Amino acid sequence: MPSMPAAAVAPGTTIGSVMRDAPLPQQEARILLGHVAQISRVQLITQSERALSAAEAQQLASLFARRLAGEPIAYLVGEREFFGLAFEVNPAVLIPRPDTELLVELALQHLPPQGRVLDMGTGSGAIAIALAHTRPDARVTALDASAAALAVAQANASKHQAGIEFLHSDWFAALGDRQFDLIVSNPPYIVAGDRHLSEGDLRFEPIDALTDHADGLSDLRTISSHAARHLADDGWLLMEHGYDQAAAARALLLADHFREVQSWRDLANIARVSGGKKSRA
């Protein structure tokens, strides 16, 4: 049987036929088909002779067409897994990525019992919720400058029954004199004009969550320069950054008098997170 033209899916087409003739890689077709048919990966095999209804065929054709146009799979199905949890995502928030799980792992290592942790620029809430879910003893606060992002984060927190305080804030603006034992952030760090912003999934993600519209370091600079005021003695600041920004991030932390400054590498052996401990007065 020849491959189906473009993204067309005829009503009555069987699941097996769709999987065989889909205009997308098998993994992507499987995710979209399972989403439309509301069945598991195993059921896609065991129910391969099941015919799609007209509504299912229409929805699947639409999703195929949108994916062929470049829309991220996570936005098409409205969900992405992170740290073993399923998070609602939409174009108001970045899609959580496996690289960022390193930041969560490091935060868990540096968070004391009953510790107070602040997630800056929370987006979908993935980092804050992963921390609250893993460490229910922690007191977790998360902030974002985007009201739309906070709505997504609050929905995700409710879904996972995570007790998190959310603040609508442009970085430290709404914090007053509050202090924390740990501050974590995955801020915008892509340099303005970087070609990656016009490629792949990034084309569809919120631009202000990707780039600082400058040298890629301005938000890291802001966080590093103001964090000490909001950290308890010996509190840690951990920041995710770009693949080539570790040395610059460490320099910022050293200039702001953090100690034990270091960078940590992700599974791809890329220095992905840098951090330091607040110096005692």
pLDDT for 8 = 81
- Closest Cα partner for 71 from 197, 196, 201, 199? 201
Amino acid letter, 274: S
What b-and-e string marks burial along 27-37, b requiring 16 or more CB atoms within 10 Å of the CB?
Answer: ebbbbbbbbbb
Architecture of domain 79-277: 3-Layer(aba) Sandwich (3.40)
Name the residue ranges covered by the structural domains of the chain.
15-69, 79-277
- Return the pLDDT at 3: 44
Please report the pLDDT score of residue 5 as a whole number. Answer: 44
CA distances from 172 to 55, 168, 179, 210 (A): 48, 10, 11, 19
Task: Specify the pLDDT at position 51.
Answer: 96
- Other CB atoms within 10 A of residue 158 CB: 11
Low-confidence ranges of the chain (pLDDT < 70): 1-7, 281
User: Pairing state of beta strands 116-120 and 139-144?
Assistant: parallel
Residue 74, pLDDT score: 97
Backbone angles phi, psi at 167, to 5 degrees: -125, 135
- Total-model pTM: 0.92
pLDDT at site 6: 54
Tell me what pLDDT residue 7 has.
Answer: 66
- pLDDT one-digit tens code per residue, 24-83: 999 999 999 999 999 999 999 999 999 999 999 999 999 999 999 999 999 999 999 999
- Work out the end-to-end distance of the chain between its first and last CA atoms, rounded to an integer number of angstroms: 74
